[in-house]
Amino acid sequence: MSSLLRREWQVALRAKGAIINPVAFLLLSTTLFVIAAPDTVSSDAAAGILWTLVLLTQLLALDAMYRRDFDSGVLEQTLVSAQVPFVAVLTRIFMQWLSTGFIMVAVGPALGILLGLPAEATPAIALAMLLGTPALSLLGSIGASVTVGFSRGGVILALLVMPLFLPTLIFGAGLVAAAEAGSSVMPQVYALSLISLVALAIAPFATLAGLKISLEMQ
């Protein structure tokens, strides 16, 4: 387990792009949005926009999730040699979540301010990101594992995972909106956690099955 994590950490440090690019894309798309629709700033649509952009950022990062290891043969070695490939998949999803989900706990509130959300809503945004993004990485990993074998899997990946992201989007944006309105956020918190837990239960097994299918494809 530790050797897996160490390797992921070394790769993350060397290929900083995996961390910087998602955040850069998020900032860029927020700016475009505000320029295109200035009156959305500090409107009740802001929470929804913020979450939609986080979703799209996650989608972009997913395509590369297994691609590098697939092309280099590292994925092959993992499935052949690892006594417990399940752990390797879980480590990979965890690292992916760190660079595209967990980081949103910090970046999200900053974007909230950019979008004119009230300052007291920022803790709610951070909480929503913390509870919601694991489901994105977990469910997204299933889609990524099945489409990694395709040369142009991007669109299919989006088609497969976007419907699965919908519940997280609804309750994530709902939580922020509830915080803005000052009402209790607990129902959304429970819902987001439930979705992430269900995703945690099915994602590793489904991802492993997906990777086995993709590896057999070439």
Partner 1 sequence: MLTLEELVCERDGRELFAPVSIDVRAGDYVELTGANGAGKSTLLRTLAGLHSRYSGAFDSVDCLFQGHRLGLDGLLTPLENFAWFLGFEGRDADRERFLDALQRTGVLNKAYQPCSEMSAGQQRRVAMARWLLSSRSLWLLDEPLTALDASAQQVMAKIIVEHCQAGGAVVCATHSELPVAQKRLLKLEATQRTPDGSVHSGYRDFAKVQDE
Partner 2 sequence: MLSASLKRLWHKLGSPRWFFALTESWVKVAGWSALVLLVWGTIWGLGFAPADYQQGNSFRIMYVHVPAAMLAQSLYIGMGVAGFIGLVWRMKLTDVAISACLPLGMVITALALFSGSVWGRPTWGSWWEWDGRTVSTLVLFFLYVGIYALREAIADQELRARASALIAMVGTINIPIIKYSVEWWNTLHQPASFGLTQKPAMPSEMWLPLLVMVLGFYAFAGFIVLVRMRTEILNRELGARWVRDWVQVRSER
With CB under 5 to 8 Å by kind, the binding choice for 15 among partner 1, partner 2, none is partner 1
CB atoms within 10 A of CB 206: 19
The answer to whether 176 and 117 have CB atoms below 8 angstroms apart is: yes
Site string for partner 2, 134-163 (x = CB under 8 A): -----x--xx--xx-xx--x-xx--xx-xx
With CB under 5 to 8 Å by kind, the binding choice for 37 among partner 2, partner 1, none is none
Closest CA to 48 of 169, 139, 168: 169
Nearer to partner 1 among residue 2 and residue 184 (C-beta): 2
Identify the DSSP state of 84: -
Distance CA 201, CA 149 (A): 24
Backbone angles phi, psi at 54, to 5 degrees: -65, -40
With CB under 5 to 8 Å by kind, the binding choice for 61 among partner 2, partner 1, none is none
Footprint of partner 2 (CB under 8 A):
139, 142-143, 146-147, 149-150, 153, 155-156, 159-160, 162-164, 166-167, 170-171, 174, 191, 195, 198, 202, 206, 209-210, 213, 216-217
